[in-house]
Amino acid sequence: MDELDATIHQPVRLQIMAALCQLNTLRQVDFTFLKTKLNLTDGNLGAHLLTLEEKGYIEVEKTFVARRPKTFVSATAAGRRAFDAHAAALRAILKPKTS
């Protein structure tokens, strides 16, 4: 049975993971774009991304586009598995128990 993941369950991280897992595995999303979509501040999003990165749930790639620094974020395979398991555990809580 799937178990709840305390790292993902935090509301902002849950939003981040749900958004990132919606993209296909090849795609990365820009930090600023994600911040705007989730209505977060730089510091708030950065802190939560760091937590998720330390757990190996996301990958952060820093690069330059037209000489400007850009940060791109994507969910890892482990992150996708953990998120799916967490969502399954949430659904299991809502299912009526059969005896």
Partner 1 sequence: MNISPEEAARALGEIEASRAAMRATIRGFRGHYYLWLWGGIWVAMALRAEFHALPGLRMNHWLIYPGIATTFLILLYQGTKIRSPVNKRFLGVLAAIVVFSFVWPLVLGHSANAKSGFAYGVLVPMFCYIVAGIWFGCYLLWIGLLISALILASLFFFPALFWWSVVLCGGTLIGTGFYVRYFWR
- Name the minimum Å distance from CB 29 to partner 1: 5
Q: Does 51 bind partner 1 (CB under 8 A)?
A: no
Contact 8, 17 (CB under 8 A): yes
Residue whose pair of structure tokens reads 């000489």 in the numeric block: 67
The only residue of 1, 6, 43, 62 in contact with partner 1, by rule CB under 8 A: 6
- Name the minimum Å distance from CB 18 to partner 1: 4
Classify residue 19 as exposed, middle or buried by CB count within 10 Å of its CB (0-12, 13-18, 19+).
middle
User: Applying CB under 8 A, which part among 18-26, 40-48, 49-57 lies near partner 1?
Assistant: 18-26
CA–CA distance from 24 to each of 19, 20, 28, 75, 84 (Å)?
11, 8, 9, 9, 14
Alpha-carbon distance of 8 to 87, in angstroms, equals 10
Q: Does 87 bind partner 1 (CB under 8 A)?
A: yes
How many CB atoms lie under 10 A from the CB of residue 99? 2
- Name the minimum Å distance from CB 51 to partner 1: 16
- Chain positions contacting partner 1, by CB under 8 A: 3-6, 9, 11, 14-15, 18-19, 21-23, 26-30, 33, 37-38, 61, 65, 70, 72, 87, 90-91, 93-94
